[in-house]
C-alpha cells in the first residue's frame, strides 16, 4: 500500500534508537524526508548513517537537542525548517516508588515527556494550518490510561499527553490537519531490552527466557509477548499519511489488548 508520503517532511523526536528510529525508518521507506533527533551530535550522526544504510534512497538529516535542556530546545525550535509531519516520540521512563521520586525528577519527566510535545506543536502547528495539511502524532502509552503504581510519574505525563493531543485536535476543526495519539503497549525498545538483559544476567537465565517470563506477567495482554517497535511504527506511518484523513482527535490503541476497556 502506498501511503502517499513522498514529498512530505517528518520530524521525529527521540529517534536515534528504538521506537523513534523505527518510526523514522518506516516513514523514510514510504518516501518521506526525515529529520532525526537525539540528545547529542554523536548519537544523531550515528543514527543518520544507520538510516541511510537501511534506506539508501532516504533523505535524512538530524538535529541534536536534549528536551530536558531549555537552551537546547530553544536552539532546535529556531533551526527546525518546514515540517509536514511531527511525531512526538521522545520520552523517558523508569520504575520507582512514588515516595522516591523528587520534585526535580517530576519536572524532568514533564519537560521531556510532555513539554517537548507542547513546544514542538506550538512551533509547527500554525504553519500546518496555514499550508492546509499536516499531521501530528503523539506516541503515548497504555500507562496513561491504566497508570502503574510503580511508574506514577511516567503515567501522569502520558495521561497529560492524551489531553494535550485531544485539545490540539480541536484547533484543527475543518482543516486537513489531524492530531492523534498512539496508545502503545509494552514494547521491546532498546531501553526495555537493556533492562531485560540485566534481569537475565542477575537470574542466570537466557535473555529470551527472561523476556518471555516478563511478558507473561502482563496478565491482561492478549498478545502475551512484547510488541516490536516496527509494529508501532507501521501505525505511526499510517496516521502520518493522507490515508488517515478521517482520524482526528483519537487515541488509537496498539496495546496488544493490555487495556481491558472496549473503547
- Residues annotated as catalytic are 154
CA distance 123 to 114: 15
Strands (E), the chain: 9-12, 33-38, 60-64, 85-88, 134-141, 177-184, 251-254
Contacts for 236 with CB less than 8 Å, ≥ 6 apart: 23, 26, 27, 87, 137, 139, 182
Per-residue cell: 259 = 487495556
- Give the C-alpha separation, 263 to 258, whole Å: 12
Helix, strand, coil share of the chain (percent; to 5): 50, 15, 35
Rounded CA separation 71/114 (Å): 17
Residue 180 β-bridge partners: 137
The three state secondary structure string of 29-84 is HCCCEEEEEECCHHHHHHHHHHHHHHCCCCCEEEEECCCCCHHHHHHHHHHCCCCC
| Cβ-based neighbours of 125, under 8 Å, separated by 6 or more | 134, 136, 168, 171, 172, 177
Which residues, listed in sequence order, are joined to residue 93 by a DSSP beta bridge?
Answer: none
With cell 484547533, the residue in question is 171
Amino acid at each position: 500500500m502506498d501511503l502517499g508520503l513522498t514529498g512530505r517532511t517528518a520530524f521525529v523526536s527521540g529517534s536515534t534508537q528504538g521506537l523513534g528510529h523505527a518510526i523514522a525508518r518506516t516513514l523514510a521507506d514510504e518516501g518521506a524526508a526525515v529529520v532525526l533527533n537525539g540528545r547529542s551530535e554523536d548519537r544523531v550522526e550515528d543514527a543518520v548513517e544507520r538510516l541511510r544504510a537501511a534506506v539508501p534512497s532516504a533523505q535524512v538529516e538530524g538535529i541534536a537537542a536534549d528536551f530536558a535542556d531549555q537552551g537546547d530546545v530553544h536552539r532546535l525550535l529556531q533551526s527546525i525548517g518546514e515540517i509536514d509531519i511531527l511525531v512526538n516520540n521522545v520520552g523517558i521512563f523508569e520504575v520507582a516508588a512514588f515516595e522516591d521520586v523528587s520534585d526535580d525528577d517530576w519536572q524532568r519527566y514533564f519537560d521531556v515527556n510532555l513539554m517537548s510535545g507542547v513546544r514542538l506543536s506550538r512551533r509547527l502547528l500554525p504553519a500546518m494550518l496555514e499550508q492546509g495539511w499536516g499531521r501530528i502524532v503523539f506516541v503515548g502509552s497504555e500507562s496513561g490510561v491504566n497508570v502503574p503504581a510503580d511508574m506514577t510519574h511516567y503515567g501522569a505525563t502520558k495521561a497529560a499527553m492524551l489531553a494535550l493531543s485531544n485539545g490540539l485536535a480541536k484547533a484543527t476543526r475543518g482543516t486537513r490537519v489531524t492530531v492523534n495519539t498512539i496508545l502503545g503497549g509494552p514494547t521491546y525498545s532498546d531501553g526495555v531490552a537493556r533492562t531485560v538483559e540485566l534481569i537475565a544476567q542477575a537470574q542466570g537465565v537466557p535473555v529470551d527466557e527472561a523476556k518471555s517470563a516478563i511478558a507473561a506477567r502482563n496478565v491482561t495482554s492478549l498478545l502475551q509477548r512484547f510488541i516490536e517497535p516496527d509494529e508501532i511504527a507501521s501505525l505511526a506511518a499510517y496516521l502520518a499519511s493522507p490515508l488517515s484523513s478521517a482520524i482526528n482527535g483519537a487515541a488509537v490503541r496498539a496495546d496488544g489488548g493490555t487495556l481491558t476497556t472496549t473503547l
